[in-house]
Structure formats: C-alpha cells, structure tokens
Amino acid sequence: MAKIERSQKLFLKALKEKFQGQDVQSEKTEFYKFGGVRQSQRKLEFMKESRSIEMQRGISMYDPERCHLGGIPMGQRQLMTYEVSGTGVFVEGDDLHFVNNSAMQQMWDEIRRTVIVGMDMAHATLQKRLGKEVTPETINEYLHILNHAMPGGAVVQEHMVETHPALTDDCYVKVFTGDDELADEIDAQYLINIEKLFPKKQAEELKAEVGKSMFQAIHIPSIVSRTCDGGTTSRWSAMQIGMSFIAAYRMCAGEAAVADLSYAAKHAGVIQMGSILPARRARGPNEPGGIKFGHFSDMIQADRKYPNDPARASLEVVGAGTMLFDQIWLGSYMSGGVGFTQYATAAYTDNILDEFTYYGMDYIKDKYKVDWRNPSAADRVKPTQDVVNDIATEVTINAMEQYEQYPTMMEDHFGGSQRAGVMAAASGLSTAIATGNSNAGLNGWYLSMIIHKDAWSRLGFFGYDLQDQCGSANSLSMEPDRGLMGELRGPNYPNYAMNVGHQGEYAAIVGSSHYGRGDAFCLEPLIKITFADPSLKFDFAEPRREFAKGAIREFMPAGERSLIIPAR
C-alpha cells in the first residue's frame, strides 16, 4: 500500500511540474484541449453523417474519440470470429448470413439464371424443314444477334421497348461443342473452350460426351431472375432464342416452323438446373430444392482447378452446398427469419472439416494405398461393407478425439448438429474418395452418425437424425420408393427433404466419389462445361474464397440497380 502511495505522490509531483498552472488533481485538463478529432473538417462531417445513420438505424457507429487513447484496447466477446476455411480471412458469423453477403447471393443467382439449350434440333429444323444452310458463319451471326437479344434487346419486331444494357450486362450466351473443327470456327468471344479450360484428360472425356452436338449456355440477367423466379429462366431464354433464330435465318416471324424451334428451345432441348418440385415444396424449375446432387457437384469447378486434390475440391462443394441448401433453401425458401447460418458455417469455417478430411486422406493412403493425389478410376478400393465401416469408423473416432482434446474446437462447434454434420461429412468424403462410389460414401456418413450417437450419448437437434436412422437401410437401396443412386438424389429425395446439416454434405460426398476417380464430371457433362465459363460473375472454382470476399465487401455482384434509383 505504502509503495503505491509513494508512486502516486511521485506521479503527482511529475504532473505538477509538467502542467504548471493546472489543477493536477482535477479530472479534466485544459492543457491538451485542441479539439482532437474535431480538428478535421472531414472527420466532423463523417461523424455527423454517422450520427444521422445511427439515429436512423439505432446502431452505434464510429466513435473515434474513444479509441485513440494510450493503453491496450481489450474486448469481451461471447461470439467467436470465424476463419473461412482455406482463405485466411476472419469474419463474423453475421458476415456469413446470406442476406449480408453479396457473393452468396450471386452464387445462387448464377445457378438460377442459367439454362442449357441444345442447338441440334433447331439446326435440323432449319436444314430439313426450311432447306436453309447452317454454317459456322450463320451460327456466329445467330450468336451475335442472340447476345443482343438475350439481355432484352429487340429483334424483328418494331416499336419494342428494351432493357437498359447497363442493368443487364451480366447476361450473355456462349456455346460449346465436342467438335474441335467447328469450335475453331466459332467466334472466340462466344465459345466456352473446353480444351483451354479443362485439364487434358478431362477435356477429352467431356468432348467425347458432347460429341458433334452444340449447346448454348445461357445466363439471363440477374436482375430479371431476382424479380421473377427460376421458372423464368428457360422461358425468357426461349423467347429470345426464338426471335434470334427468326432474325438470323431470315424466317418469317410466326411461320409454322417457328413452332418447332420454340418447342425445342422451351422443352425438348432444355436442361434445367433444378427440376420442378411437387406440392408441399411446390416450386418451378431452377430452384434449389430441385437440384440433384450430381448436377450440383458438376456446377462446382474446384476439381477442374485442383484435379490432384479431390479433398479440396470436395470441401469446396461442402461450402457451396451447405450455403445453398442449408442457408438459402431450407433457411429461407422453406423457413426464414434468422435462418440456419451456423449449421452451414460449421462445415466451411475454421478448417475443422478440412482437418478431419485430410486425416481421412492420410488414412486411406496408409491403409489402403489409395494414391488420392493422383485420382484414377483404377486406383480405388473395392467398396465392401468392411472397408466402408473401417474408413468411416476411423475418421469418426479421430474427429471425436480432436473435439475432446481441443476444448476450444468443441466450443467453436457448440451444437451437436454442427459436430455431427462435420464428422459425418469427413467420413463420407473419405469413404467416397477411397471407393469412387457415391452410395458407399453416403453409407459411411450413416455409420458415422450411429457411432457418434452412441459414443457421446447425444447427437443433434430434436429429430436431426431421423434421416440418418433410415439412411443405413436406404443408402444401398435402388427401389423406387426408398432408394436411388447418389448422383440422382437431391434435397427433395424424401428422407432428405426435412433437416439442415445434411444436404450440402451429401452433395459433396456424391461429387467426391467422382473427383476421387479423376472423372471429368459427376452426372452431366453439359453442366460441368457451362459453369467452367470464366465470364460468370461468381467463380465456381473457389466458392469459399468468394464468400470470404463477400464478407469483406470485396465482391461485386451483378444486377445492381444504382442506375435506376435516386442519386444520393
């Protein structure tokens, strides 16, 4: 006590010397009153602006006068910050709510506004029914017109009202084909060049699948897609395709053959991104609930960019999938409000799932000699029940041990559902990559749930594991009322259409079985090619990185309305 008193007295003495004429015991001093931050006119304006926004929104904002004091700033936090896995970027949970993140919104916009339409039927009609020539030149001409028309430009008809190009500049059409000669003749700006975009082996495989056919990869304007819905995409696209054919091939508007072209463009030649959903979930095409897992895995392009890291590629599908299916589909379309952000973020933050999955990779390499860094269909383990059980058990038990031994990891994934989804995902991915079989991967997921539940005598939220208790039995069933190949399952597969914390991971397990084999695609080569297009606003090869960019306000989405709203 005496020591403190002495230093206090010394302190006062020093103060008195320094600040002569001032009352040093007073709580306020006149000496340093220069106005602080109020010296700066700009800062003053900014503070005033902040105050008014504060008043409007009731959220406290910038308060510089509190911050520039000597000493150590210290805060207390109940909530954790999260690192978006694989990116090094630290964000708040709120930054990853899809409403607050423009990259997440754009990813979903890209999918919803996309449709693939074949050209072969149209070309056959033109050639056989109308006796017109279809050549690379005419195709280029058609594409030129189509890229004018698709964003909402008028062709053929007089006195039409049009969209403003600046609002629809994200809208375009490109084509692709497996025919190298034909591809060479297409104007480069309109071509998705399979050769250039894919690793050699994958490019060959894709071109073989597409063959001599030609397809249009169409992306209607984001702003249109947001005002309307997924069902608009194929219709908007078909309208403008029809008009463009009429213009390009000098047809009579409305002549009978136009009906053939319309039918092909609207139905026969169309590949939707999502199927329609029946009553209870009722949605039109191109909504999240109707996207098959195989198709979703084809949309994500990380395997194209990281062909020798199927684990990485799968983890990107987890991130994109949990965002779309947990946060947007189940968290908004099918419910709403605060949503289900943290069920999804558990799977793509803090590198936890990454840790567990790479442990799985080490395990399958050590025990089964799977050279996972060189994916090949030949180098897979036969998916017997014993193998599946062994891989899933080991990955699950290891993950539980990590949670037990690192309490902060347990506290990060404070909810059982988070832990369950992450552990089962790691198990499923490891199993699928090792075996190259999507149903085996799903089977591994269900064993993980069973082990977890009994090990800790807890699992997830009330009813979380309803589908997981059925899953062992239906994972190898192909009977129409209760089974299906993994690639064809989707969020509306009966047992899956209910709970968060599952769908995104299932999509990744399905994809991983193909990434582990080095396959060029999972289910639909046309989708794989379409989303390889570098002109898309969202980079489908790096979904997690894009989400991080959205969280730090570095992602520029499409369809901005600044042009048509009052200037501030």
Partner 1 sequence: MAYTPQYGPGTSVVAQNRRNQMNPTYELSKLRSVTDEDVVLVLGHRAPGAAYPTAHPPLAEQQEPADPMRKLVKPTEGAKAGDRVRYIQFADSMFNAPSQPYQRTYMECYRFRGIDPGTLSGRQIVECRERDLDMYSKNLIETEVFDPATVSCRGATVHGHSLRLAEDGMMFDALQRCVLGEDGIVRYVKDQIGVPLDRPVEVGKPMDAAWLKAHSTIFHSLAGTALREDPEYIEYLQRIHSLRTKYGFMPKEE
Partner 2 sequence: MYSTSRWTRSPRALILLPDSAFPQCRIVPLRLLSPTTAEQLLTRIAGIPGVRRIVLNGPGLPATVPYGPARGSANPNTNRRTIQVCGATFEMKIQTGTVTLEVEDEEAIGAVKVLCDEFFTMMPYRLQTGRFMKSSPTMVDYARYGPNADERVIGLSDPRKRDGPIIIPATQSGGSLSDNMQMENTPDSIN
Q: Compute the least distance from the CB of residue 501 to partner 1, in Å.
A: 12
Which range, of 27-35, 86-94, 109-117, 165-173, touches partner 2 by CB under 8 A? 86-94
85 interacts with partner 2 by CB under 8 A: yes
Q: Compute the least distance from the CB of residue 469 to partner 1, in Å.
A: 9
Q: Compute the least distance from the CB of residue 453 to partner 1, in Å.
A: 7
19 interacts with partner 2 by CB under 8 A: no
Question: 274 or 416: whose CB is closer to partner 1?
Answer: 416
Q: Compute the least distance from the CB of residue 417 to partner 1, in Å.
A: 7
The catalytic position among 70, 71, 131, 463 is 463
- Number of CB atoms found within 10 A of residue 304's CB: 22
75 binds, among partner 1, partner 2, none (CB under 5 to 8 A by kind): partner 2
H or E element, residue 383: none
User: What is the spatial order of strands in the sheet that 270-271 belongs to?
Assistant: 172-177, 214-219, 114-118, 270-271
Question: 129 or 553: whose CB is closer to partner 2?
Answer: 553
Q: Which of 310, 302, 298, 424 is nearest to 358 (CA)?
A: 310
Inter-helix orientation angle 543-551/102-112, to 10°: 130
Question: 110 or 542: whose CB is closer to partner 2?
Answer: 542
Q: Compute the least distance from the CB of residue 462 to partner 2, in Å.
A: 16
99 binds, among partner 1, partner 2, none (CB under 5 to 8 A by kind): none
Question: 66 or 159: whose CB is closer to partner 2?
Answer: 66
What is the β-pairing status of strands 214-219 and 270-271?
unpaired
Q: How far lies 236's CA from each of 119, 145, 218, 451, in Å?
A: 17, 15, 10, 50
Q: Which of 107, 103, 80 is nearest to 548 (CA)?
A: 103
Q: Compute the least distance from the CB of residue 17 to partner 1, in Å.
A: 46
493 binds, among partner 2, partner 1, none (CB under 5 to 8 A by kind): none
492 is catalytic: no
350 binds, among partner 2, partner 1, none (CB under 5 to 8 A by kind): partner 2
- 254-264 core/surface letters (b: 16 or more CB in 10 A; e: else): eeebbebbbeb
Q: Judged by CB under 8 A, which of 30, 411, 466, 564 binds partner 2?
A: 411
- Number of CB atoms found within 10 A of residue 363's CB: 18
- Number of CB atoms found within 10 A of residue 373's CB: 12
308 is catalytic: no
410 binds, among partner 2, partner 1, none (CB under 5 to 8 A by kind): partner 1
Q: Compute the least distance from the CB of residue 2 to partner 2, in Å.
A: 8
Q: Find all residues with CB under 8 Å of 177, minimum gap 6, and list them.
A: 183, 186, 210, 212, 213, 214, 215
C-alpha span between 520 and 295 (Å, rounded): 13
The catalytic position among 418, 439, 499, 503 is 499
Residues 297-336 that bind partner 2 (CB under 8 A): 311-312
Q: Compute the least distance from the CB of residue 296 to partner 1, in Å.
A: 24
Question: 24 or 476: whose CB is closer to partner 1?
Answer: 476
- Number of CB atoms found within 10 A of residue 416's CB: 18
Yes or no: say if 504 and 321 are a contact pair by the CB < 8 Å rule: yes
Measured in degrees and rounded to the nearest 5, phi and psi for residue 475 equal: -70, -25
Tell me the CA end-to-end span of the chain in Å, nearest whole number: 61
Q: Compute the least distance from the CB of residue 81 to partner 2, in Å.
A: 4
C-alpha span between 474 and 48 (Å, rounded): 62
Interface with partner 1 (CB under 8 A): 385, 389, 393, 397, 400-401, 404-405, 407, 410-411, 413-417, 419-420, 443, 446-447, 450-451, 453-462, 472-477, 479, 482-483
Residues 87-116 that bind partner 2 (CB under 8 A): 87-92, 94-95, 100-101
49-78 footprint of partner 2 as x/- string (CB under 8 A): xx--x-----xxxxxx-xxxxxxxxxxxxx
Amino acid at residue number 496? Y
Which range, of 6-14, 159-167, 264-272, 363-371, touches partner 2 by CB under 8 A? 6-14
216 is catalytic: no
86 interacts with partner 2 by CB under 8 A: yes
Yes or no: say if 266 and 234 are a contact pair by the CB < 8 Å rule: yes
131 binds, among partner 1, partner 2, none (CB under 5 to 8 A by kind): none
Q: Find all residues with CB under 8 Å of 203, minimum gap 6, and list them.
A: 194, 195, 197, 520
What is the β-pairing status of strands 214-219 and 114-118?
antiparallel
C-alpha span between 493 and 439 (Å, rounded): 14
Q: Compute the least distance from the CB of residue 484 to partner 1, in Å.
A: 12
101 is catalytic: no
Sign (positive/negative) of CA torsion 304, 306, 311, 316? Answer: negative
- Show the DSSP H helices in 269-406 as ranges: 293-299, 302-305, 310-321, 341-345, 352-368, 385-405
Which range, of 28-36, 80-88, 433-441, 495-503, touches partner 2 by CB under 8 A? 80-88
352 interacts with partner 2 by CB under 8 A: yes
Tokens of 236: 């908007």
Report the residue count for the chain: 568
522 binds, among partner 1, partner 2, none (CB under 5 to 8 A by kind): none
Amino acid at residue number 512? S
The catalytic position among 82, 190, 343, 493 is 343
Active-site residues: which are they?
157, 343, 463, 499
* Contact set with partner 2 (CB under 8 A): 3, 6-7, 9-11, 13-14, 46, 49-50, 53, 59-64, 66-81, 83, 85-92, 94-95, 100-101, 311-312, 350-352, 354-355, 358, 402, 406-409, 411, 550-553
